């Protein structure tokens, strides 16, 4: 049985029994009621059943559901109100005449006297003269036998919770400022009111016959189906949109990068994000006075603050920096500082992973890559983050050449879906020759990374005697291009709806 909701503006034919019971309850309360009132009037045993029926009525246009946040208060500790408030105790004590402050402190306790004096002054119940004698005021005399608003609320709180209203809000806030008295809580209060369509359905008449939405074998066998009303289907009723799980665009891109390099015969490697400056910079022939090593650009650590270095490598790297060592160059021509190289930091690139891998695998052939997080002390904007990812790779072969590097990177980006790739001359401290890689997208060239051949000053100190091709490519920029992000920060937003709308391929 199918209904297109065409039986009139306020037809009740497409309503379930639970929905009709709610409309009936609302009519008893003048068209507006709380959930508690509806539940008691309709005999709902299960709150979930009530809310489900209400949400359907709302979706069909029969009712409004208003929600508001209500604050309420409870006693934090009943023992805290087992005796009068400190100011009330002092007020009672000075009713017969002024009393020395010291005597009052001994009477109610030194831990309570300062609180009492503060509130006595605030309420205007007492004054303290120069000799530190406390005397009652006219306002205090008037309050002697009359409980204050805060005391009345405390008495109520001994029996029940108290909801915040405009009338008691200030008093409750004052009580809340006192430690160990009351606790503040919040709850969502829902009220339901009839819309015009709901009123029309009630006026048209509600029937409460037994009805079902699904026939069972037992009902068919017994013949009860002849007596039971089958609830019509509303083909326009909203249904829940089911969205299956899917990978985050960043993870999907990382996975594709890994699969492409694996197809090309590369081994995936990993390394720690906490490194020494030695491996992150010195081993890569980055001079110790390079701007990238400043605290404004690099995250240095306090714990651990330094690493112990391998002695066999230290002297060779020192020589490469100071005079070129056995590389044939003149080096940087300064005095190398080992303490600077020992400093601990968050890695500034993933090249540190490949150089350490080369130090442990000094014989060709080597084809390795890694995709990892790196950290730089940069101001965040639409194109920069202080924490992002890099795609790193190396090839060591006896016949490795610059032409091979160009071919490998062009093939990688072709497999990633970019046919137009451009190589431009570039400069990096640890590669020579060097080049930058651009891809053509959206009518323009976009830079995606740098590459080159490791210099002898990088390779000789770690014991490598063969040419090594190397590259470091941006991952987030690749994600932005593939998925249409305009701001790099949007990649990391917790926007589930947006993620669900993204293409699977």
Q: Taking residues 43-67, report their average pLDDT.
A: 89
Can you tell me the distance from the alpha carbon of 90 to that of 176, in angstroms, rounded to the nearest whole number?
Answer: 21
CB 426 within 8 A of CB 452: yes
Q: 432: annotated binding-site residue?
A: yes
Q: How is residue 485 written in tokens?
A: 């992000």
- Between residues 215 and 6, the one the model is more confident about: 215
Q: What is the pLDDT of residue 285?
A: 94
> Who wins on pLDDT, 294 or 3?
294
3-state secondary structure 364-403: CCEEEEEEEEEECCCCCCCCCCCEEEEEEEEEECCCCCHH
Long-range contacts of the stretch 380-384 (C-beta < 8 A, 24+): 380/489, 382/486, 382/487, 382/488, 382/489, 383/488, 384/488
Q: What is the mean pLDDT of residues 480-486?
A: 89
Q: In this model, does residue 234 exceed pLDDT 80?
A: no
Determine the pLDDT at residue 403.
95
For the residues 183-187, what does the mean pLDDT come to? 90
Angle at 260 between CA 254 and CA 262, to 5 degrees: 100
Give me the CATH code for the 78-180 domain, please. Answer: 1.10.10.10
Joined together, the tokens standing for residue 234 give 């509303």
Buried b (16+ CB within 10 A) or exposed e, 333-353: eeebeeeebbbbbbbbbbbbb
- pLDDT score for 424: 95
Mean pLDDT value of segment 307-329: 92
pLDDT at 1 over 60: no
pLDDT, position 288? 93
pLDDT tens digits for range 378-426 = 888 888 888 999 999 999 999 999 999 999 999 999 999 999 999 999 9
Q: Which of 22-26, 161-165, 306-310, 467-471 has the highest mean pLDDT?
A: 467-471
Mean of the per-residue pLDDT values for the chain? 89
228 against 349, higher pLDDT: 349
- Whether pLDDT at 8 is above 70: no
**pLDDT tier at 458 (50, 70, 90 boundaries)?**
very high
pLDDT for residue 4 is more than 70: no
- pLDDT winner (highest mean) among 227-236, 341-350, 371-380: 341-350
Q: Is 74 annotated as a binding residue?
A: no
Name the DSSP letter for residue 435: E
Asked whether residue 160 is marked as a ligand-binding residue, the answer is no
**For residue 163, pLDDT beyond 50:** yes
154 alpha carbon, distance to own chain's centre: 39
Compute the C-alpha angle 334/338/340, nearest 5°: 85
Torsion of CA 122, 128, 134, 136, to 10 degrees: -60
Q: Is 74 helix (H, G, I), strand (E, B) or coil?
A: strand
Can you list the positions of beta strands (E) in 117-214? 126-128, 133-136, 162-163, 182-194, 211-212
Domain coordinates in residue numbering, the chain: 2-62+195-234, 78-180, 251-493
- 298-308 pLDDT tens trace: 999 999 999 99
pLDDT at 47: 86
DSSP per-residue codes, 263-303: HTTPEE----SEEEHHHHTGGGT--TT-GGGSTTTS-B-SS
Q: pLDDT for 93-128, tens place per residue?
A: 999 999 999 999 999 998 899 999 999 999 999 999
Question: Is 390 labelled as part of a ligand binding site?
Answer: yes
CATH architecture of 251-493: 2-Layer Sandwich (3.30)
User: pLDDT band for position 3 (50/70/90)?
Assistant: very low
DSSP-derived 3-state class of residue 190: strand
- N- to C-terminal Cα separation, the chain: 40
Which residue has better confidence, 41 or 78? 41
Tell me how far apart the alpha carbons of residues 287 and 322 are, in angstroms, rounded to a whole number.
10
**pLDDT for res 10:** 55
Q: Which helix (H) or strand (E) holds 20?
A: helix 17-28
Query: What is the reported pLDDT for 6?
Result: 41
Q: Highest mean pLDDT range out of 80-89, 180-189, 413-422?
A: 413-422
pLDDT band at 11 (very low <50, low <70, confident <90, very high): low
Which residue is it, tokens 């105790």? Answer: 89
CB 18 within 8 A of CB 49: yes
Confidence of residue 60 (pLDDT cuts 50, 70, 90): confident
| Token pair recorded at residue 331 | 């080096």
Binned at pLDDT 50, 70 and 90, residue 499 comes out as confident
């Amino acid at each position: 049985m199918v209904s297109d909701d065409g039986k009139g503006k306020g037809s009740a034919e497409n309503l379930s029994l639970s929905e009709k019971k709610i409309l009936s309850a609302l009519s008893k309360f003048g068209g507006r009621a709380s959930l508690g009132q509806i539940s008691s009037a309709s005999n709902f045993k299960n709150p979930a059943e009530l809310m489900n029926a209400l949400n359907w009525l709302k979706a069909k246009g029969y009712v409004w559901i208003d929600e508001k946040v209500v604050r309420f208060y409870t006693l934090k500790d009943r023992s805290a109100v087992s005796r009068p408030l400190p100011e009330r105790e002092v007020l009672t004590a000075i009713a017969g005449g002024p009393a020395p402050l010291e005597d009052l402190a001994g009477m109610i306790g030194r831990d309570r006297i300062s609180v009492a004096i503060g509130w006595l002054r605030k309420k205007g119940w007492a004054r303290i003269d120069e000799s530190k004698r406390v005397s009652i005021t006219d306002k205090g005399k008037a309050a002697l036998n009359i409980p204050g608003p805060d005391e009345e609320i405390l008495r109520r709180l001994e029996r029940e919770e108290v909801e915040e209203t405009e009338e008691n809000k200030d008093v409750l806030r004052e009580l809340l400022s006192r430690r160990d008295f009351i606790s503040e809580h919040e709850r969502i209060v829902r009220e339901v009111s009839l819309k015009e369509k709901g009123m029309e359905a009630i006026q048209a008449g509600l029937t409460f016959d037994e009805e079902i939405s699904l026939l069972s074998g037992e009902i068919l066998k017994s013949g009860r189906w002849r007596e039971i009303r089958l609830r019509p289907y509303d083909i326009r009723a909203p249904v829940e949109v089911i969205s299956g799980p899917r990978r985050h665009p960043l993870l999907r891109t990382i996975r594709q990068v890994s699969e492409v390099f694996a197809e090309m015969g590369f081994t995936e490697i990993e390394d720690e994000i906490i490194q020494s400056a030695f491996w992150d910079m010195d081993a890569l022939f980055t001079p110790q006075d390079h701007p990238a090593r400043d605290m404004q650009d690099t995250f240095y650590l306090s714990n651990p603050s330094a690493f112990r270095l391998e002695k066999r490598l230290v002297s060779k790297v020192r020589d490469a920096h100071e005079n070129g060592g056995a590389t044939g160059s003149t080096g940087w021509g300064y005095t190398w500082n080992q303490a600077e190289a020992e400093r601990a930091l968050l890695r500034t690139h993933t090249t540190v992973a490949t150089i350490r891998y080369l130090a442990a695998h000094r014989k060709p052939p080597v084809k390795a890559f890694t995709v990892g997080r790196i950290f730089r002390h940069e101001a965040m904007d639409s194109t920069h983050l202080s924490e992002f990812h890099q795609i790193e790779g190396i090839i060591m072969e006896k016949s490795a050449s610059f032409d091979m590097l160009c071919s490998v990177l062009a093939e990688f980006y072709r497999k990633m879906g970019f046919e137009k790739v451009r190589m431009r001359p570039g400069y990096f401290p640890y590669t020579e020759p060097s080049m930058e890689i651009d891809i053509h997208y959206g009518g323009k060239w976009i830079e995606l990374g740098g590459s080159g051949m490791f210099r002898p000053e990088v390779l000789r100190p770690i014991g490598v005697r063969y040419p090594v091709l190397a590259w470091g490519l941006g991952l987030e920029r690749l994600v932005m291009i593939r998925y249409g992000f305009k701001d790099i920060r949007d990649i990391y937003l917790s926007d589930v709806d947006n993620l669900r709308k993204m293409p699977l391929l």
